Structure 1
């Protein structure tokens, strides 16, 4: 299929003004109700690769996508634990849906750290009005990890050119935060450019074909002489030249996605074992839920998930502390705490998704059940960055007192 045939139409304008969520408890109550509804059709959507347009609109109209907006700009300024709990709650129902707002929150954190007051006023107002942010950060085909998407000034206009991939949420977005490189004084300087989805020269291409997280809209975005306003250009490089929480906050959300999918897989496994699985013949019991080896394995997964959840909550506290006091030491401690959580949420999520089949038996592999979506989703998402490098960063921190690198992948 050609790129032209896959170009996605822009998202419609918000259907209303979302409410402002007032507390952590309210946010989790709202997320729980949404998750229960999303779970009903999650398997069907995944099987048919039906992009969740109405679910994303319902999700963002709930007010949950505005929980990090600071109070001085009309938001509730809820903490990192709230964001992580929202994501993991939705993730237990639908892993794809839990990943879609991740880059929205990431962009708002980059805005909080690097934006001017005027930029914050403008973009936070847009969020509170129900508009969504996606992303166009990553590029493929470059082993040096350098970005080639350019930002240049021509006859007084600012112009963006380039191609991005892994653009999670861009299909559903009203704004596409784009990492672009400008040449300044012989140096390359990076900016985050907030580009309206309907801008001429912008094409969002639905070409994501991963076997997991199939409904995240993580395809390509191309920019062909896309003209942008200067007020949409936010300094980005400076946010990594100094100690900020952009990286650990982003990674905390990734950990929450994996944890949520693992919880969903574990709940599905328990239901299947209780209702449909057969005990092994040597167990000499009537029900699979009384098979002693099954019971033991369920306990092991449960402990792993509980530990992962505890590290996730602990990491959120470190991120909150670093947001309020962004010193080198606080940001380094937050990055390490989040890396620890990411290791365990990766392992717990993968274990839960694998045990879903081991303990449920062959009948759980029936294609009509589509239970493999849990494993496909968590396996795909945990590949965002390698756990093996997190061990190295953690070891260096505790053994050699070396702060981890400042970028989005730690």
Structure 2
């Protein structure tokens, strides 16, 4: 069932309990045909062949998204059109092997692509985080949340049965495939599997109405008797019905979480950079100089405190970007080094994870500071709903609560003081 809330109201000596559901009706979707001209252009050009070409493609997509991002945030329609544009642009293929029709780029490039798209629209910048199937150009949503233990998996002979509930399912409503995750009955082991989204057993609750990331369609989903062949259980042996230790030993298995954590960091960074760019255009065009400061200027762009704030924000974003790029190189290098023999040492994995943790801390702090601080240099009229400057802060504030950054600070403290590298967990 959908999340609900109850309220007790005393009436004439009696208590009446009113229960209200947060579930909303299935939302309207944006129309993919609005981007027809761009679809044709991207398809005609084909996939970029260089790293700079991929970044240029990401910037082009971000520019398209930025034009009406504020209006789309207000309308809150499922971004069917925008996902279609991500597909036709080829951005979902950037990391895929070239032999399967992908871009063949490293995570270092992938992180920068995410950052660029997030500048245009934070909600849509999060969507390329999803896995994709290269040849079919499929978009994958994720019903994966290790804190939810409401999805059970049972053995039914030649297949598994997934049954239960997930509070969050990022991009599920607009996906081709959904990755399910749950606990295998009678064990502590988790099983992941890709399934077709369009099936009766996957029932979206359409209850995503949060303060930020409104277009990610990350609401809850009910999973009812979804059957998955044992051969589709990722990392599991079809013979022993146990986790395949050879598969679990590959770098991707132990590096998956820091890899994704760095995705988040670049996502935050891109949103903050987008907010500063948006604010600077607004300040130049619409902000009025303050007439009671004692050192009055005719233009806001001549005022000391406005120039000082923009300079300070820019410096911190530039520092965060440099750190994010360094961490991205660390991740890309370790994949490149160990991709052949499929092993990675605890120390090297931990060192890379601490670069990621450092980036997560800095981008979280900086993005929250910048996306809130830009209002100081734009003025009260910039808080207007149709202006849309608030969407940057709302998106960052929403996702930075994904896992408390305070624990990343503690983790780094242990690394500095005790030379202790983090053990792999769901969030490290």
TM bracket (short chain) = 0.7 to 0.9
Structure 2 vs 1, CA of residues 155 and 192 (structure 1 numbering), >3 Å: closer, same or farther? closer
Q: Which residue in 2 is equivalent to 1:31?
A: 58
Q: What is the rounded CA distance, in whole Å, between the counterparts of 1:60 and 1:209 in structure 2?
A: 25
Which of residues 270, 291, 295 in structure 1 aligns to 2:307?
295
Which of residues 303, 306, 310 in structure 1 aligns to 2:322?
310
Give ranges in structure 1 of 5+ residues lacking alignment.
Answer: 109-125, 140-144
- Pick the structure with greater CA Rg: 2
Q: What is the rounded CA distance, in whole Å, between the counterparts of 2:199 and 2:47 in structure 1?
A: 29
Deviation at 1:178?
Answer: 1.0
SS in 2 for 1:245: helix
Moved over 3 A (4+): 1-9, 15-21, 71-74, 236-243
Q: What is the rounded CA distance, in whole Å, between the counterparts of 2:200 and 2:418 in structure 1?
A: 51
SS in 2 for 1:138: coil
1:264 aligns with 2:291: no
Q: Which residue in 2 is equivalent to 1:278?
A: 288
Map 1:139-154 to 2 at 5 A.
145=147, 147-154=149-156
RMSD over equivalenced CA pairs, Å:
2.6
| 21-30 vs 233-242, which moves further | 233-242
Contact 1:168 1:216 in 2 (8 A): yes
| 268-277 vs 17-26, which moves further | 17-26
Contact 2:183 2:191 in 1 (8 A): yes
Q: What is the rounded CA distance, in whole Å, between the counterparts of 1:252 and 1:23 in structure 2?
A: 22
Q: Which residue in 2 is equivalent to 1:122?
A: none
TM-score, normalization by structure 2: 0.82
Q: What is the rounded CA distance, in whole Å, between the counterparts of 2:248 and 2:406 in structure 1?
A: 23
Q: What is the rounded CA distance, in whole Å, between the counterparts of 1:148 and 1:235 in structure 2?
A: 22
Deviation at 1:47?
Answer: 0.9
1:137 aligns with 2:155: no
1:59 aligns with 2:69: no
Contact 1:240 1:406 in 2 (8 A): no
1:363 aligns with 2:378: no
SS in 2 for 1:101: helix
Map 1:2-401 to 2 at 5 A.
5-6=25-26, 19-71=46-98, 73-104=100-131, 126-138=133-145, 145=147, 147-183=149-185, 187-235=187-235, 244-280=254-290, 281-282=292-293, 283-324=295-336, 325=338, 326-401=344-419
**Superimposed CA distance per residue, residues 206-233 of structure 1 (whole angstroms, 9 cap, x where no aligned partner):** 2111111111010112211111122321
Q: What is the rounded CA distance, in whole Å, between the counterparts of 2:53 and 2:228 in structure 1?
A: 37
Deviation at 1:276?
Answer: 1.6
- May I ask how many residue pairs the two structures share in their alignment? 380
RCO higher in structure (CA 8 A, sep ≥6): 1
Contact 2:141 2:170 in 1 (8 A): yes
